[in-house]
């Protein structure tokens, strides 16, 4: 059995295994720079062919209604995506290019990115309307939601055979993957994701939200963001599994201090975007047409 310490060391070394190309390191720094100019960001994004190809494909998709009219990264960012969405999606593309999950056939990349995108959208919407999260930047919440489960990608990349067994045990026992990992290896994907986010120098609030969003006891500086990501990620998973949402909506309203009607409206809007979410998930999975 691989020990906790072995996993910790290997996840910490993911910054070098595989090494990030110079262009990818520059892109990561650009994405994490809140003050970068649009022109500079576009220039850096264009150095990564996979990012350019996927973002242009998305910008020209039916999702944005711009079929065949967007021909450059600058057009894609200015006319269609916007700076913040372009940053978040570029980060997702970079991660999928670096963390290979193909060696673990039991892993559902469709589910992973569907719940990531849904959590991102929910977190952003909650931060825009909830008094408890009024100090949280909705764009930051979107990125944190998109990355909340990155540790699962890291573990599957590094331990595909072990994670295949973990995923099967999760289904067999009807337990969360995190619970199976904790009971076996004393570490879960959220802690692993927090390690990786720190090594890749993500903004500190995002690192903290990745690590602690499933820990209700967290009461640190970024409590509002962490709690919001925890709520959004759970709801995204419930939506994917088509669970009854009435109780979840009631709990969300109580936790965020907003009305059930408002939460219900946010959910109705999200459900209306399901096909669009699948488009975004396909882009990040690499299954875009």
Query: Using H for helix, E for strand and C for coil, what is the string for the chain?
Result: CCCHHHHHHHHHHHHECCECCHHHHHHHHHHCCCCCCHHHHHHHHCCCHHHHHHHHHHHCCCCCCCCCCCCCHHHHHHHHHCHHHHHHHHHHHHHHHHCCCCCCCCCCHHHHHHHHHHHHHHHHHHHHHCHHHCCCCHHHHHHHHHHCCHHHHHHHHHCHHHHHHHHHHHHHHCCCHHHHHHHHHCCCHHHHHHHHHHHCCCCHHHHHHHHHCCCCCCCCCCHHHHHHHHHHHHHHHHHHCCCCCHHHHHHHHHHHCCCHHHHHHHHHHHHHCHHHHHHHHHHHHCCCC
Task: Identify which has the larger pLDDT, 131 or 171.
Answer: 171
pLDDT at position 17 is 46
16 pLDDT band (50/70/90 cuts)?
low
Please report which confidence band the pLDDT of residue 272 belongs to, taking 50, 70 and 90 as the band edges: confident
pLDDT higher than threshold 50 for residue 252: yes
242: left (phi over 0), alpha (psi -120 to 50) or beta: left
* Residues comprising the chain, all counted: 289
Nearest-angstrom CA–CA distance, 107 and 156: 8
From CA 30, how far away is CA 143, in angstroms rounded?
A: 14
CA distance linking residue 54 with residue 92, whole number of Å: 11
Regarding predicted confidence, which is higher, 208 or 27? 208
Average pLDDT value for residue range 228-233: 95
pLDDT of residue 131: 78
Cis peptide before 18 (omega within 30 of 0): yes
Higher-confidence residue: 248 or 222?
222
Whether residue 174 is predicted with pLDDT greater than 70 in this model: the reply is: yes
* pLDDT tens digit sequence for 58-105: 888 877 777 778 899 999 988 888 887 888 888 888 888 888 899 999
pTM of the model: 0.86
- At residue 11, the pLDDT reads 66
**Is 35 or 23 the better-scoring residue by pLDDT?**
35
Cβ atoms within 10 Å, residue 260: 14
Q: What is the mean pLDDT of the chain?
A: 85
Share of the chain above pLDDT 70, in %: 91
Instruction: Answer left, alpha or beta for residue 146, where phi above 0 means left and psi between -120 and 50 means alpha.
Output: alpha
pLDDT higher than threshold 90 for residue 148: yes
Confidence category of residue 289, pLDDT binned at 50, 70, 90? very low
Measured CA to CA, the distance from residue 24 to residue 91 in angstroms comes to 10
Residue 284 CA, distance from chain mean position: 10
Place of tokens 């909830």: 130
Structure tokens at 118: 């849904």
pLDDT at residue 147 is higher than 90: yes
């Amino acid at each position: 059995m691989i020990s906790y310490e072995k996993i910790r060391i290997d996840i910490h070394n993911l910054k070098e295994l595989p090494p990030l190309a110079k262009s990818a390191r520059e892109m990561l720094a650009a994405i994490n720079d809140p003050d970068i100019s649009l022109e500079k960001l576009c220039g850096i994004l264009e150095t990564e062919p996979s990012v350019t190809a996927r973002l242009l494909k998305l910008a020209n998709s039916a999702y944005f209604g711009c079929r065949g009219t967007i021909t450059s990264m600058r057009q894609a960012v200015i006319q269609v995506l916007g700076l913040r969405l372009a940053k978040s999606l570029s980060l997702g593309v970079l991660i999928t290019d670096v963390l290979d999950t193909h060696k673990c056939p039991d892993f559902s990349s469709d589910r992973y990115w569907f719940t990531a995108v849904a959590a991102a959208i929910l977190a952003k919407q909650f931060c825009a309307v909830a008094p408890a999260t009024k100090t949280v930047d909705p764009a930051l919440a979107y990125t944190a939601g998109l990355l909340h489960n990155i540790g699962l990608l890291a573990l599957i990349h590094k331990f595909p055979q072990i994670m295949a067994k973990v995923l099967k045990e999760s289904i067999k026992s009807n337990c969360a993957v995190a619970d199976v990992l904790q009971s076996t290896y004393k570490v879960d994907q959220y802690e692993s994701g927090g390690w990786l986010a720190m090594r890749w120098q993500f903004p500190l609030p995002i690192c903290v939200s990745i690590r602690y969003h499933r820990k209700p006891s967290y009461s640190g500086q970024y409590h509002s963001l962490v709690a919001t990501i925890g709520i959004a990620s759970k709801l995204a998973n419930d939506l994917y599994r088509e669970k009854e949402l009435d109780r979840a909506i009631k709990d969300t309203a109580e936790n965020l201090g907003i009305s059930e009607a408002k939460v219900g409206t946010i959910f109705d809007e999200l459900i209306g975007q399901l096909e669009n979410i699948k488009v975004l998930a396909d882009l990040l999975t690499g299954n875009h047409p």
